Amino acid sequence: MSDPALQVPVLKVDGLIKRFGGLTATDNLSLDIRAGEIHAVIGPNGAGKTTMIGQLIGELRPDAGTIHFMGRDITAMPVHLRSAIGIARSFQITSIFPNFSALDNVALAVQAHDGHSFRFWADARKDLGLREPAMAALEQVGLSHRAGVTASALSHGEHRQLEIAMALATKPKLLLLDEPMAGMGPEDSARMVTMLRGIKGSVTILLIEHDMDAVFALADRITVLVYGHGIATGTPDDIRRNEQVRQAYLGDETPSLQGAE
């Protein structure tokens, strides 16, 4: 196996800048995400993590800098095309189709990547080409037993699982997970960690998460974001030892860091 550092990164962010009025939410951010890794981005509230995701997914246009995906410049590409070339995202605040069943939700994600949808006659809910891959994605996140339940009736933890099943169903090369454990109890969190470990390697993951136990348990590399700027990138051990990181961000959370060791 060649040195992963020498391969073309799946995602290469270079000198990204995004300002909102006087506030610089993304400040000259550069980032390399390597194939197959789980790359976590951590940082205190307001560090610009969600703004960064917004630019990667195409909902926000950066003021400066470039984003390359598999060697291709996607800085100006619209949202739905980024999805088509293999970038998927889960939302920090659950974003699903509440009136559809869990299976319908995922089937719609499958449909998005199965040619155009100008098909007006055949019943989409009887389309095995959609239902089977959707069911497989639900199984992957451990939600297949709830396939027929209306999404609005699912629990919070199940919503988070559904989010990820929808993202996985688009067969992404890069999965952007925006705080998948947000609002979860320890039990659901642990299940999510196990699930993400299960899909690790099959898809490259950019993970934004506040749950440090989860981050240190999952990540191959971690980037620390403070005021929109990446102050350090390295393995979990590097980050733990990094004095600057301790001072800037982890200082008061050292006990939980040690807990993760």
Partner 1 sequence: MPALMHKPVTTMIAVALLGLLALVPIAAEAFDDPFMLTLFTRIVIMAIAAVSLNLILGYGGMVSFGHAAYIGIGGYTVGILAHHGVHAAWIQWPLALLMSGLTALLIGLLSLRTKGIFFIMITLALAQLVYYLGNGAYAYGGDDGLTILKRSDFGGLIDLNHRPTLYYLCWAVLVAALYLCYRTVNSRFGMVLQGAKSNDRRMATIGFPVFRYRLTAFVIAGMVCGLAGVLSAAFTDFISPAMMHWSRSGDLIVMVVLGGMGSLFGPLFGTVAFLLLEEILSSWTEYWKIVFGPILVLVVIFARGGIDGALMRGQANILMAGCAGFFLLYGVHSAYESDWLIPTAILAAAFALVWLAKWLADRRASAKEAGHV
In this structure, are residues 28 and 15 in contact, taking their beta carbons and an 8 Å threshold? yes
In this structure, are residues 33 and 204 in contact, taking their beta carbons and an 8 Å threshold? yes
Positions in 128-147 near partner 1 (CB under 8 A): 130
- When the beta carbons of 127 and 213 are compared against partner 1, the nearer one is 127
* Interatomic CA distance for residues 52 and 206, integer angstroms: 11
Per rule CB under 8 A, is residue 204 in the interface with partner 1?
no
**Choice from 118, 255, 258, 261 touching partner 1 (CB under 8 A):** 118
Quickly count: other Cβ atoms within 10 Å of residue 34's Cβ: 17
Per rule CB under 8 A, is residue 124 in the interface with partner 1?
yes
- When the beta carbons of 135 and 166 are compared against partner 1, the nearer one is 166
**Choice from 15, 46, 98, 259 touching partner 1 (CB under 8 A):** 98
Q: What is the DSSP string of 132-153?
A: HHHHHHHHHTT-GGGTTSBGGG
Contacts of 73 (CB under 8 A, 6+ apart): 66, 67
* Nearest distance, CB of residue 110 and partner 1, angstroms: 9
* Nearest distance, CB of residue 83 and partner 1, angstroms: 3
Per rule CB under 8 A, is residue 6 in the interface with partner 1?
no
In this structure, are residues 52 and 46 in contact, taking their beta carbons and an 8 Å threshold? no
Positions in 145-174 near partner 1 (CB under 8 A): 148, 150, 166-167, 170
* Nearest distance, CB of residue 128 and partner 1, angstroms: 13
Backbone CA torsion sign across 130, 133, 138, 139? positive
Positions in 48-67 near partner 1 (CB under 8 A): 57, 59
Beta bridge partners of 69: 11, 72
**Choice from 91, 161, 195, 226 touching partner 1 (CB under 8 A):** 91
* Nearest distance, CB of residue 84 and partner 1, angstroms: 5
- When the beta carbons of 117 and 244 are compared against partner 1, the nearer one is 117
* Interatomic CA distance for residues 160 and 254, integer angstroms: 28
* Interatomic CA distance for residues 224 and 128, integer angstroms: 43
The two tokens of residue 254 are: 């050292």
**Choice from 63, 92, 97, 199 touching partner 1 (CB under 8 A):** 97
In this structure, are residues 66 and 56 in contact, taking their beta carbons and an 8 Å threshold? no
Give the interface with partner 1 as residue ranges (CB under 8 A).
Answer: 57, 59, 79-80, 83-84, 88-89, 91, 95-100, 104, 107-109, 111-113, 117-125, 127, 130, 148, 150, 166-167, 170
